[in-house]
Amino acid sequence: MTVDPLTTALGFVHLQTELALGRRFSIYAGPSLKLFDFPGTEQQPYKGIGVEAGIRWFVTAGNKPTHKSAPRGAWVMVRGLAANVRRTDRANVSEFGGYISALGGYTWIFDDVFVVGLGLGIQRIDYTVDDLGIQGTLPAAHTTLGVAF
């Protein structure tokens, strides 16, 4: 179970549960909530609720045998988000939004419990309603803090 502290700071709260599919692959999924705007930026009247999911291929899966099957090491990932993006200042105004991204990164697991991960890549995002939100091809980042069980 992990959270992404970087996207949380940007206003997108993700809670992710990852399932190992052997030593080299994992899938993850979880809710995604757009709850607030990045502090210090102009506040925009929209929120979002959706589901984020991804698949990782661990290029250099750790070879330390443990009772935990959680993969670790260098990875490449494809992830996507589907969300309902709605205006908070107008009733019944919403649109489908989301993104798809490709990233490379690394996951560490300390004491077979504490998960830390970092990744960078590129994304195509359309998280808008009316003229509000984020749209375009942008850099993507992934940070992970959590626990393996």
Each residue's pLDDT tens digit, 38-75: 888 888 999 999 999 999 999 986 555 454 567 889 99
Closest to 134 measured CA to CA, from 91, 101, 92: 101
Q: Which helix (H) or strand (E) holds 7?
A: helix 5-9
Q: What is the pLDDT of residue 63?
A: 53
Q: What is the pLDDT of residue 57?
A: 95
Question: Nearest 5°: CA angle at 112, between 102 and 17?
Answer: 45
User: Mean pLDDT over residues 106-114, rounded?
Assistant: 91
Q: What is the overall mean pLDDT for the chain?
A: 90
Q: What is the pLDDT of residue 61?
A: 67
Which residue carries 């992990």 as its tokens?
2
Q: Please give the Cα distance from 79 to 18 (Å, whole number).
A: 12
Share of the chain above pLDDT 70, in %: 94
For residue 118, give the DSSP letter. Answer: E
Tokens of 66: 């443990």
**Which helix or strand (DSSP H or E) is residue 5 part of?**
helix 5-9
**Helix, strand, or coil here: 10?**
coil
**Residue 56 in contact with residue 99, Cβ under 8 Å?**
no
Domains of the chain: residue spans and CATH: 2-147 (2.40.160)
Supply the pTM of this predicted model: 0.85
Section 11-17 average pLDDT: 90
Examine the pLDDT at 95 and tell me if it is beyond 60.
yes
Percent of the chain at pLDDT exceeding 90: 66
